[in-house]
Amino acid sequence: MSETLVIVESPAKAKTIGKFLGTKYKVVASNGHVRDLPKSQIGVKIENNFEPKYITLRGRGDVLEKIRKEAKNAEKVFLATDPDREGEAISWHLAQVLNLDEKSKCRIVFNEITSSAVKNSIKGARAIDMRLVNAQQARRILDRLVGYEISPILWRKVRKGLSAGRVQSVATRIICDRENEIREFVPEEYWNITAKLREGKNKKTFEAKYYGENGSKRELKNEADTKEVLDRINDQLFSISEVKEGTKTRHPAPPFTTSSLQQEASRKLGFTTKRTMMIAQQLYEGIDIGGKGAVGLISYIRTDSVRIASEAQQAARAYIGNRFGDKYVPEKPNFYKGREGAQDAHEAIRPTGVENDPASIKDSLTGEQYRLYKLIYERFLASQMSDAIFATTQVTLDCAGSTFRANGIRTIFDGFTAIYTEGRDDAQEKETVLPELASGETCHAEKIDSEQKFTQPPPRYTEATLVKALEEKGIGRPSTYSPTISTIVERGYIAREKKQLVPTELGFVVNRFMLENFDEVVDVQFTAMMENELDDVEEDKIAWADVLKKFYGPFHEKVEVALEKAPPEKIPDEVSDIVCEKCGAMMVYKIGRFGKFLACPNFPTCRNTKAIVEKIDVPCPKCGAALIKRKSKRGKAFYGCERYPECDFVSWDKPTKMACPQCGGMMVQKIGQNGSYIACMNKECGYIHRNTKKSKEEKEGEAE
């Protein structure tokens, strides 16, 4: 009975930590939460100061039994779940189940899964932080009250099967509001004039754009005004009235927070927030690196801090000097100011060791892991590098009273851009080199173009811009952005069209119902205030039950009013192009327990329904017919032949066009602990495609 037991959430994390601690420690995984509120009831005793009723989660019984046995035989138990509210709550639940004293030094935390961080955490073991537990508990109960009280009303007044969430409802509103802005937008006409000019000395050409009249800015609103300018400057010389030379310094972006990582991975890699967090979790928990075993490659991934440890900063500066030279290392280390209200409990997301450069460990990573790790690694290094310096030139020209301007920019010193340039949602500034020009010189126009344009409505949100908006408005926290977006898409309130998030008709109807009956729940400022109050619970400024009490009274009154007085909402059916073979009507799309299906609009007179057939571009390996994506009774996707039952081919994994190079069999796309990969269907063969470059099949899987 000399072993020390360490409990973490995931098997991957257990494997990595176990390697660091050695044989005197036993590391086991709880597989996430072990207790939660019951699904069958609200699970909160509202009249008893909002006391929660926790039960053991289904499927966790065997796991808990194993942990209990290990704890009974251990001399000491350490709870090593993630270093945030959710992780603290999991540790508290485990302590409750195992009868551990929550005030004893049973809790260990580390920001990165490295040997030194894990061993140091044991030296710094502490009691469970009930402030964090209470903040998580308050959020969980708050979300349960909203979901379980509003969802039945949506069932009765709108449609069966609908549900509402506190943060998800606000996110849906933000997207619906933007769509309404787009629909109501009235484009305004404007015109641009661009002159292609040639200066006499070097006979080089450059472009200048119309700015205004006699040095004052003027917008060209119509064709008549534009034609008047064109007629006036036709065949006239352009005289250079001013040349301004200057320099521009561009600072590197700070290392990643959860929000900025999700945004940049969306822009640069095309990852959804859910995919980004899944891959980042793998990199955090540990990857088997050749010769080193399991290594946690990045620091903790749920953070809104831009702070980094001084040891990591010094290591980065030394590495930059060796790789790029001393001029790329700033005289003083770069420090960044976080956004107002950001929690500073954890560092920014960074590599755990600069020696693990992406190229050196590429063969140990999947294509997706490599691309995300490279993004994190290079962003971190760039954040500690010197500024980039650019030479700027602004040339002002006059032609018959009309003012034109040409702007040039060229790199003097590349600085941090030698390794990384931040992605942007708007147009990027391009390097433009102008010829040597001087005040008083004249140029003649080789060509003058005019172009009619119209102002554009605000763009639809992408996952990147929605995460940015949620963060700026104070909605949610780092751990909530990804599940919030996934939830509103899965519920059918929002659809992904390419990279854009577009409200569905169902989303509009539910949002309208929420606005009319639960305005505070979908109010951005109110939701942000609730987030601040949850932060106050964590800081012990307010009791968690008081937050719930203040919210619940007015909220429950609105629930009772809506239940009695809210008029029902009708969702118009989306008409398909498929004719009902029984009665000739055009079938409509319906949403059932297992997703979308086709139904006759003449129900109940005609009860014809059809499954929506989704063919994949891969022939059946048995008969050559088309393969169809289907769903099991439990809603799990699988792939079968369209000629079923004549042909019985079936696969839980998505088939690919690739033939196995060993046995000639069909290769399928699988999802493993370290991401997706392609393997032979034939278990006796067992061939796995090891190409780390993202295949077409992986790209298709990512888009699903």
Residues designated as active site: 300
- Phi, psi values for residue 206, rounded to 5°: -155, 165
DSSP structure class, residue 364: G
Q: What is the dihedral of CA 363, 365, 366, 369, to 10 degrees?
A: -140
Write the DSSP assignment of 553-583 as a string of letters. HHHHHHHHHHHHHPPP--PPPEEEEEE-TTT
DSSP helix, strand, coil percent of the chain (3-state; round to 5): 35, 25, 40
Write the DSSP assignment of 625-669 as a string of letters. -EEEEEE-TTS-EEEEETTTTTS--EESSEEEEEEPTTT--EEEE
The closest alpha carbon to 383, from 260, 209, 286, 233, belongs to 260
Determine contact, residues 5/28, Cβ cutoff 8 Å: yes
**Hey, what amino acid is at 449?**
D
The CA–CA distances, whole Å, from 114 to 102, 363, 524 equal 26, 21, 40
Determine contact, residues 348/305, Cβ cutoff 8 Å: yes
Determine contact, residues 421/384, Cβ cutoff 8 Å: no
Reduced to 3 states (helix: H, G, I; strand: E, B; else coil), residue 371 is helix
The H or E element spanning position 215 is none
Sheet strands side by side (includes 25-29): 25-29, 4-8, 76-79
Q: Which residue has the tokens 């691309």?
A: 371
Determine contact, residues 500/175, Cβ cutoff 8 Å: no
Alpha-carbon distance of 517 to 560, in angstroms, equals 10
Alpha-carbon distance of 351 to 316, in angstroms, equals 10
The closest alpha carbon to 335, from 317, 357, 360, belongs to 317
Burial (CB count <10 Å: 0-12, 13-18, 19+), residue 7: buried
The CA–CA distances, whole Å, from 509 to 149, 170, 178, 596, 635 equal 18, 14, 15, 18, 25
- Both tokens of 175, joined, read 């997207």
Alpha-carbon distance of 31 to 65, in angstroms, equals 13
Q: Are strands 293-295 and 216-217 parallel, antiparallel or unpaired?
A: unpaired
Burial (CB count <10 Å: 0-12, 13-18, 19+), residue 2: exposed
Exposed e or buried b for every residue in 182-221, given b needs 16+ CB within 10 A?
eeeeeeeebbebebebbbeeeeeebebebbeeeeeeeebe
Alpha-carbon distance of 386 to 249, in angstroms, equals 10
- Phi, psi values for residue 184, rounded to 5°: -90, -5
The closest alpha carbon to 174, from 469, 459, 395, belongs to 469
Reduced to 3 states (helix: H, G, I; strand: E, B; else coil), residue 183 is helix
